[in-house]
Amino acid sequence: MNTLTDTSGIPIARVLSTPVRDFNIDSNPERLVSFSLNTVTGILDLTFDDIMVARTFYPPAIVLQSHVTRASGSFYSLKRASFTSSNDGYFIAANLNTIESKPLRVLG
């Protein structure tokens, strides 16, 4: 069985294993680039500047607030009931349960 073929069905040529010469650990912290919240569907879309591992999504670490500081507006911390079914990647869609979607409609 071929590992991979091109669009014409021609398999890639065999390559002998090559030892790793350099390995650089990714030590730069990732950044949330943008987000959007649909309060009707309860979907919170998160876009990052690097590939994220979806199974590490931890809803209680996310706080949504209506202003830059909590003191000047309303805020809401997500609960464990929220989840994501996203694949690993730059984009994670968080599904907020219906209990969490209601209070978020009044933020802002």
**For residue range 32-84, what is the model confidence (pLDDT) as tens digits?**
999 998 878 888 899 999 999 888 888 888 888 777 777 777 777 887 767 77
The residues near 78 (Cβ < 8 Å, ≥ 6 apart) are: 59, 60, 61, 62, 63, 64, 94, 96, 100
Query: C-alpha distances in angstroms, 95 versus 8, 31, 39, 71, 87?
Result: 41, 20, 11, 27, 13
Give the global pTM: 0.66
Q: Using an 8 Å Cβ cutoff, are 63 and 76 in contact?
A: yes
Provide the pLDDT for residue 108: 45
